[in-house]
Amino acid sequence: MSAPSLPAAPPQTEVPWSLWKSQVSGLLRLEVKKYLLSKRALLLYFLAFLPIFPFLIWNLRAMLVGDLPDIAQASMFYAGMFQTLMLHLVIFFACVITFTNLFRGEVLEHSLHYYFLCPVRREVLVVGKYIAGQFASWIIFLICVVISFCLVYFPYGGQGLDYFTSGPAIGHLLAYMGVTVLAFLGYGAVFLFTGLLFRNPIIPAIVIWIWEGINAFLPAMLQKISVSHYLISLCPVPLSGGPIRVIADPAPAWLSVPGLLLVTLAVLFLASLKIRHMEISYGGE
């Protein structure tokens, strides 16, 4: 038995900033707890801690074999793991799971109409659920970044400690954490929008993933039409390219960071326009 179809939202008047803030805060308290403690979050925890296993193996090999590369090579190892395993796989699909389900999951659970019946602007609903998804993701995945980064240098003992206290390690860690936050901001907005736009958002997600994956092998001009190009440009340790990889000039931080933020705001604006005219019909789900 399906719920009745709800019409598109009627024209709405401006809402004071204080009401926006109180409504978003209420959504945050409700949604963050749901994202961190629901059954759906178990997959996110699995994804978040999956990259830690290669670094545990790195430590095990150091204890058993004792043949460690120099600490600069360890930094290159982490850079490769972050850009490939963590950024392109783990963080990307965590964004797919979290943000396509901000509204699509509510439709599948036949619960979105409860939000639409509340006296809350739909734009506030988009912003509140998006920020809640960001907070929950940052809590889970920034812990993963810190643990995995520390594990790389743990086998070096005093030399690793010196690399943190008097070397560039702290700056590198903060940069990787910043790239993680920006990745969730950019990819999160994109997948929130695809979750509103498509009945099956997995197909566009796979298309985007393939595009991001082959980005390094495209002409330099095409590489710039990609979120990953700007994220990798912000990584503190650059990787050398293979024989068929085209190395585009890294985008400077003053361009990458504002550019990603502007794209995020633009996509959220489109999502807010889309949800104004969204109608719920559970019968076809």
Radius of gyration of the chain (CA): 21
Bridge partners of 280? 6
CA separation for the pair 80, 73 (Å, rounded): 10
Helix 253-276 with 169-197: angle, nearest 10 deg: 20
DSSP code of residue 84:
I
CB-based contacts of 142, cutoff 8 Å, min separation 6: 177, 180, 181
CA separation for the pair 76, 73 (Å, rounded): 5
**H or E element: which one contains 92?**
helix 92-100
- What is the average pLDDT value for the chain, to the nearest integer? 83
Helix 17-37 with 41-49: angle, nearest 10 deg: 70
- Which tens digits make up the pLDDT trace of 22-65? 777 777 777 888 788 877 788 889 998 898 998 888 888 877 77
Helix (H, G, I), strand (E, B) or coil at 280: strand
- Which tens digits make up the pLDDT trace of 63-97? 777 777 888 888 999 999 999 899 999 999 999 99
Give the start-to-end residue ranges of the domains of the chain: 28-276
pTM of the model: 0.87
